[in-house]
Every structure is written in structure tokens, then in C-alpha cells.
Amino acid sequence: MLVVVSAPSGAGKTTLCREVRKVAKGLAYSISYTTRPPRPGEVDGVDFHFVGETVFRAMVEGGEFAEWAVVHGNLYGTSARTLEGTQERGEDLLLDIDTQGARQLRKRHPEGCYVFVVAPSMEELEARLRERRSDAPEEIARRMARAREEIASWREYDYLIVNRRLDEAVRQLGCIIEAERGRTSRLSLELPDLDLPGEGRRS
């Protein structure tokens, strides 16, 4: 199962994804490739694969991305190999990607679980972007404008999380993952000892 999480910058998506991995067992994480320079504290190969634009473009040409998009002038992409690998192993994969990338994935993986995260209000979103202090005022204005565009696509997602408090949002995302794992439409080989009559197991 793919769990795709999108959110406007500042809604708390990155922290939420990090925290939910501590709670939800058996959830792999897709480390995106990006041409954006690392922020303080970000580690190459952990938070992102940081690459130059030439490398990124070559990967695009080589068909190495399951999705890729331009966000705030930087390139972001998801490794197709990561996606295929976790699917082959039957693992669940958490992806932290923007609305454009999610749209691309949804076409090929409509069975995925798509979650949109928002701050409780636009004012709160702006306040959070200011608190981050890593962005210049014009960058904040740019992110707010883009946030409005992104939020407009929330109905394309299966679930909406209003991130008022981190612990509640983490619990909610954890619940979505746990609930989705019990969807009958996902259950095929996963009923080993039930001896169900009727339709029974699909293999």
C-alpha cells in the first residue's frame, strides 16, 4: 500500500511523516530526490537524496522517477525503483510529495491512500512559515500563494488532516494507515488461517 501525504509548505507534513513512522509499524519511507540545497540539520540519504540539476535531469531522461515535479523552483522526484521494490516485498510505503507528484501517482496507483494535511487556517500557516525563520519574506509570500493553489486540490485526496496539534495529527495519520490496512479491497493473501468459506482467499 502506498500512503501519499501532501500539504502546503508549513502545514507540518515533514514532522508528521517523521513521527508517524515511529508509531506505524512496517512502514517504509520513500526518500525523495531533490535539487534543493539541504536546510540546517537535513542529512543526505536520510531526509532527501540531494543531487544537482544535471543528475536530476539525467534521471528524468532515464525514466528513473515514478513522479517528479518543480516546486518553488526546485526539482523533486520519487525513485521508481523504491516504489517497485516495496511493492514486490509487500511493504507499505510512505511518500511525502507535493500535489503535482501526487496527481501523477494517483493515475498509476489509484488504489493508494492519499492524505492531505492543512494548517487550521491560512493565518496559522503564515505564522508557522514565519516561525521557521529559514525563509525570506518574499519566499514566505511565494509559499503562501502556492499554498492557496495546493489547498484547492484537497478534494482529490482520500483523507484530510487538520494539523491543529502534532500529537493528534500523528494519531490520526496512524489510524488512517491502520484502518486502510483492514480494507477488504486490500485483503487478498492476508487471511492465512481464517478458512473462509464462500469467496475465500484470492491468490
Nearer to a copy of itself, 81 or 164 (CB): 164
Q: How far is the CB of 39 from a copy of itself (least distance, A)?
A: 27
Task: Give the type of residue at 48.
Answer: F
Whole-Å CA distances, 91 to 27, 86, 161, 170, 195: 7, 5, 23, 20, 24
Name the residues that contact a copy of itself, by CB under 8 A.
116, 118, 120-122, 148-149, 151-155, 157-162, 171-172, 174-176, 178-180, 182-185, 187, 191, 193-199
**Residue 55 vs 175, nearer CB to a copy of itself:** 175
Kindly state the DSSP code that residue 48 receives in the 8-state scheme: B
Amino acid type, 11: A
- Residue closer to a copy of itself (CB basis): 65 or 116: 116
Tell the smallest beta-carbon distance from residue 143 to a copy of itself (Å): 15
- The three-class DSSP label of residue 197 is coil
Q: Minimum CB separation from a copy of itself for residue 87, in Å?
A: 21
Shortest distance, position 161 Cβ to a copy of itself, whole Å: 6
Task: Quote the distance between the C-alpha of residue 186 and its chain's center.
Answer: 20
Return d(Cα 37, Cα 193) in angstroms, integer. Answer: 50
